[in-house]
């Protein structure tokens, strides 16, 4: 079967990378076929697609692809609109218009208008001279994340990432939730990444040097009933001795020296030592995802390359006027 996944445009490169990372991570049979602007065409089975649906933060919509045709092909478009036994929704992406009056075709269709009341929706999207025709399967519900928003957790600390982005970091680290793999977050604060990992059925070890963070993380973890999947440890990410542990992936948000201050070291020294420890802790061929301020890019790139990490991707993430960070996705040799 062919599906469409409509990736969000909240960021230029992260949505597609997140999608590909989860396809890589899980033992599922989904194949990336093509990309047309915001739409990614995938091939596979419905049950496997549901695994993606349960994990991806940056896909806004999923559909069953029914047809792709030229925007000039009025006969085909008309036939789909007039014979579909549900509601029909038309969208024009980035100013691509149909070369004929689609609204008048719509008015002749069986049902149109109140999409929220429809049990079935056929979407026709005009993009780049093509019409993508698909039946809507699911839409992202931001309400699924809202109860984990930082200010809704029992313990809040400034510098905590929002759940949508925290989930993307975890997903880029390519751990399988079906295999219940083990994630490490060595700068875990009040456990934002661990909550996302837990909500996807991953195990997580959450480490922070600050006992107040560790206490807050424990309260948060308990309040979302994640105790059986998440272990919280007070410790120094530069001194981790988890050699015997061998984690399946690392996703973390180290301090940047602004809101959150590195403890025990300068930021550069802490990051260098953290990379050394990560090398000892991560299983071979597995992934680590973390971010640093852009001004440290040259130092970190050099350190990663000298430490046996392959840099798979770098994503630039503008946070505010004074902070652009680089998100690294790296694989241990």
Choice between 255 and 293, CB closer to ligand SAM: 255
Phi–psi pair at 12, nearest 5 degrees: -70, -40
Number of residues that bind ligand SAM (CB under 6 A): 27
Residues 6+ apart with CB under 8 A from 264: 209, 236, 238, 270
As a whole number of angstroms, the distance between CA 59 and CA 53 comes to: 8
Q: Pick the piece of the chain touching ligand SAM (CB under 6 A) from 33-41, 52-60, 86-94, 184-192.
A: 184-192
- Applying CB under 6 A, does 187 fall inside the site for ligand SAM? yes
CA-closest candidate to residue 127, choices 245, 6, 42 = 6
H or E segment and range at residue 136? strand 130-139
As a whole number of angstroms, the distance between CA 73 and CA 313 comes to: 40
Shortest approach of ligand SAM to residue 282 CB, angstroms?
Answer: 16
- In the set 86, 159, 201, 257, which binds ligand SAM (CB under 6 A)? 159
Choice between 87 and 238, CB closer to ligand SAM: 238
Shortest approach of ligand SAM to residue 210 CB, angstroms?
Answer: 4
Q: Pick the piece of the chain touching ligand SAM (CB under 6 A) from 112-120, 171-179, 182-190, 323-331.
A: 182-190
Within 192-211, the residues that bind ligand SAM by CB under 6 A are 192-193, 207-210
Choice between 110 and 269, CB closer to ligand SAM: 269
Report DSSP state, residue 300: H
- Dihedral of the alpha carbons of 280, 283, 289, 291, in degrees to the nearest 10: 0
Shortest approach of ligand SAM to residue 222 CB, angstroms?
Answer: 16
CA-closest candidate to residue 157, choices 208, 113, 116 = 208
Choice between 109 and 199, CB closer to ligand SAM: 199
Choice between 41 and 238, CB closer to ligand SAM: 238
User: Is the CB of residue 191 less than 8 Å from the CB of residue 221?
Assistant: yes
User: Is the CB of residue 7 less than 8 Å from the CB of residue 168?
Assistant: no
As a whole number of angstroms, the distance between CA 169 and CA 194 comes to: 11
Within 218-257, the residues that bind ligand SAM by CB under 6 A are 236-238, 253-255
- In the set 15, 44, 63, 189, which binds ligand SAM (CB under 6 A)? 189
Tell me the residue length of the chain.
Answer: 333
Choice between 64 and 323, CB closer to ligand SAM: 323
- Between strands 247-252 and 182-185, the pairing is parallel
- Applying CB under 6 A, does 30 fall inside the site for ligand SAM? no
Choice between 249 and 254, CB closer to ligand SAM: 254
As a whole number of angstroms, the distance between CA 148 and CA 316 comes to: 25
Shortest approach of ligand SAM to residue 53 CB, angstroms?
Answer: 24
Choice between 263 and 324, CB closer to ligand SAM: 263
- In the set 93, 98, 161, 299, which binds ligand SAM (CB under 6 A)? 161
**Site track 258-277 with ligand SAM (rule: CB under 6 A), x = hit:** --x-xxx-----x-------
As a whole number of angstroms, the distance between CA 215 and CA 57 comes to: 28
CA-closest candidate to residue 137, choices 53, 77, 57, 81 = 53
Choice between 56 and 217, CB closer to ligand SAM: 217
SS3 content of the chain, % helix, strand, coil (to 5): 30, 35, 35
* Residues that bind ligand SAM in the complex, under the rule CB under 6 A: 157, 159-161, 186-190, 192-193, 207-210, 213, 236-238, 253-255, 260, 262-264, 270
């Amino acid at each position: 079967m062919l599906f469409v996944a409509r990736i969000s445009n909240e960021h230029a490169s992260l949505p597609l990378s997140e999608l590909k990372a989860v396809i890589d991570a899980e033992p599922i049979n989904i194949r990336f076929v093509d990309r047309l602007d915001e739409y990614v065409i995938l091939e596979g089975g419905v049950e496997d697609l549901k695994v993606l649906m349960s994990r991806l933060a940056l896909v806004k919509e999923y559909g069953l692809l029914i047809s792709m045709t030229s925007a000039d092909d009025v006969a085909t478009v008309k036939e789909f609109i007039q014979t579909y036994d549900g509601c029909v929704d038309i969208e024009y992406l980035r100013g691509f218009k149909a070369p004929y009056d689609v609204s008048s075709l719509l008015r002749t269709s069986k049902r149109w208008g109140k999409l929220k009341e429809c049990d079935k929706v056929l979407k026709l999207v005009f993009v780049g001279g093509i019409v993508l025709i698909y039946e809507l399967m699911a839409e992202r519900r931001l309400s699924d994340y809202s109860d984990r928003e930082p200010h809704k957790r029992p313990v809040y600390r400034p510098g905590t990432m929002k759940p949508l982005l925290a989930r993307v970091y975890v997903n880029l680290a390519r751990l399988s939730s079906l295999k219940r793999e083990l994630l490490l977050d060595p700068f875990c604060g009040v456990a934002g990444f661990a909550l996302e990992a837990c909500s996807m059925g991953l195990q997580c070890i959450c480490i922070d040097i600050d006992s107040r963070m560790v206490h807050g993380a424990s309260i948060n973890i308990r309040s979302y009933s994640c105790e059986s999947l998440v272990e919280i440890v007070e410790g120094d990410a530069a001194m981790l001795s988890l050699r015997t542990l061998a984690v399946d992936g690392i996703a973390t948000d180290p301090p940047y020296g602004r809101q959150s201050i590195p403890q025990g070291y300068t930021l550069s020294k802490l990051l260098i030592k953290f990379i050394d420890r990560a090398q000892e802790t991560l299983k071979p061929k597995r992934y680590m995802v973390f971010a640093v301020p852009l001004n440290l890019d040259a130092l970190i790139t050099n350190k990663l390359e000298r430490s046996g990490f392959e840099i798979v991707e770098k994503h630039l993430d503008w946070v505010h006027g004074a902070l652009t960070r680089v998100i690294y996705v790296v694989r241990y040799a």
